[in-house]
Chain A
């Protein structure tokens, strides 16, 4: 069974840090570009980071310099290090993946995890 299981969410104060993890199984993880997507309560989807099969990373301006995505293919694992957290970062964070195309050309996401909740509040 193809599966992504996200973990590591929780309550953190503004300015704090948190590291999310995502464990993959049931597919060839190293053949997939992987991503984190977040969703605030009652709101839409926002892509927050991506990493290619070669370890190339991609970020939107809203998180660039604060968030770092990484992967460990030997452990079939994806990570998101989040620093300098803000109240506006509060959301459910999903890990997702799409088959690799070519470097710099990211694919649609055909695999999604169940999400982990991050709450930034004092």
Chain B
């Protein structure tokens, strides 16, 4: 099983600032198979990124993803008020899927 470790646990930032979220895997993940999800309180998660760097339908271009091997990053270039939420990475592309523990992006 691939274990995904996200850091930091909480990120306190102001609107307009840049957010950088990390996801580290216990073993190499094919860059085709790393996704990011956003979850707001009381809501189901929403797919943001797939294949490391491809934005899902309707996701604004202030969201970007990068990385390879065991280290992946989600960047939000300029935080909007609606971006504050919990973000999860996920590795897929096999028959055993795992999520990271999540990073909460909160308003400073």
Contact = CB atoms under 8 A, between A and B. Distances in A.
Interface of A: 35, 37, 44-47, 50, 58, 60-61, 94, 96, 98, 101, 104-110, 112-115
Nearest to B56: A110
Contacts of B102: 44-45
A47 B93 contact: no
B99 to A, nearest CB: 4
The listed residue with most B CB atoms (<10 A of its CB), out of A35, A101, A105, is: A105
A94 B44 contact: yes
Contacts, number: 70
Interface string B39-53: 100001111001100
Q: Sort chain B's interface into a size bin.
A: 20 to 34
B47 to A, nearest CB: 5
B63 interface: no
Nearest to B93: A105
Given A45-B88, A60-B1, A106 B95 contact: yes
Contacts of B47: 108-110
A98 B33 CA distance: 13
Shortest 4 CB-CB contacts between residues of A and residues of B: A108-B35, A112-B44, A108-B50, A45-B99
B33 to A, nearest CB: 8
